Amino acid sequence: MHDPRMKKRIVVTGLGVVSSIGIGHEEFWKNLLAGKSGVSNIECFDSSKHRTHNGGEIKSFDPEKYVGFRRSRLMGRTSQMALVAAKLAVEDADLNIKNSDKTRIGVSLGAATGEAQVIEGIDKVWVTQGEDKVDTKLIRQYSFDNIPSNIANAFRLQGPVRIFTTACAAGNYAIGYGYDMLQTGRADKMMVGGSDDFSYVSFTGFNQLGAVAPEKCQPFDKNRKGMMVGEGAGIMILELLEDALKRKAKIYAEILGYGLSCDAYHMTNPRSEGLAQCILNAMSEADISIENVDYICAHGTGTKLNDAAESAALHKVFGEKIKEIPVSSIKSMLAHTMGAASAIEAIACCLTVKNNIIPPTINYETADPGCDIDCVPNEAREKKVNIVLNNAFAFGANNSCLVIKKF
């Protein structure tokens, strides 16, 4: 834990989003507050042999428009989305990288499946045509570490570069690492977040588990039928407060800290005690109490077990106080963007504290006594929001919670 007396102040000065409800944080935020669903019929592969056919696929993404033809064609889709989100974040932060010390700027990203469409393409050619027919360009695109490295190469950055593969909590892990790099003086600015493309393997796997809803994602609803697979990227620019003030940057929010835990319990089933410990760890790191929390951006996948465990964990941590704290899930709109999920959700948290408006949980119809929380059903809510928690819980019992504060 960082000594609160010695902590540096870390702020968010740039936001970049690529999502099924908008590219760029302005369009994303407008559609988020409107309760727009990004779930549609899958087009990137044939789902006719699956139980379900919908997901949070991005239909209007053209990387060449943002980063050029030559650069974009050298990358897989996950890297393309990450680089576009990074470019949008740099522009939003009004950050002049060309005249900056590039050895002091790093990249920290999370991904759950990495360049999934690349490896799936390799496998398809290998099986149907033989290994000698596999394009070596695809093999060079595949490696997980390519994703942050592609961003570093595009901007010629020479600071720390890291990829986290802690499944659906990876975005929060990457933001936490970037926060630590600034706290320890190993970097002055960090591009942090996550990215994952729409994966046939993930879609098939979750279908086989019976965890995918057929039509819509309904977090915390009594009749919820599962999660939805999605894709996207979210990148934030983190920097020291003194540097942000010196260059007169706009500041969205301040990062107070984060908490991690591992249940060491089950590969896929969450345990409320482990989730609760993670939230407590985050609050201790950020030096806040339950009275300070104004909003919780839930992991909220829409599965029976996950939503029940998260609700139970919140009751363990907050007791009766939880009835006064709004808790919403934007996965109801975006679907589950895997390693990008908590990164995109962190951006939503920054915009929430900046604008004092809480995004809704859409598709909510019937209250569940086992999820006795205020899930901000169906409509955005205006509320003074000072401090938010961003929850992200993953397979393998990798739990994370990020604390974000109004600046």
350 in active site? no
Amino acid at 228: M
Catalytic residue among 168, 217, 278, 350: 168
CB 339 within 8 A of CB 171: yes
Q: Which of 286, 296, 290, 297 is nearest to 183 (CA)?
A: 286
168 in active site? yes
Q: Which residue has the tokens 């609700």?
A: 311
How far is residue 317's CA from residue 234's CA, in Å, rounded to a whole number? 28
Catalytic residue among 217, 297, 299, 349: 299
Catalytic residue among 217, 278, 315, 336: 336
SS3 per residue for the chain = CCCCCCCCCEEEEEEEEEECCEECHHHHHHHHHCCCCCCEECCCCCCCCCCCCEEECCCCCCCHHHHCHHHHHCCCHHHHHHHHHHHHHHHHHCCCCCCCCHHHEEEEEECCCCCHHHHHHHHHHHHHHCHHHCCHHHHHHHCCCHHHHHHHHHHCCCCCEEEECCHHHHHHHHHHHHHHHHHCCCCCEEEEEEEECCCHHHHHHHHHCCCECCCCCCCCECCCCCECEECEEEEEEEEEHHHHHHCCCCCCEEEEEEEEEECCCCCCCCCHHHHHHHHHHHHHHHCCCHHHCCEEECCCCCCHHHHHHHHHHHHHHHHHHHHHCEEECCHHHHCECHHHHHHHHHHHHHHHHHHCEECCECCCCCECHHHCCECCECCCEECCCCEEEEEEEEHHHEEEEEEEECC
262 in active site? no
Which positions are annotated as active-site residues?
168, 299, 336
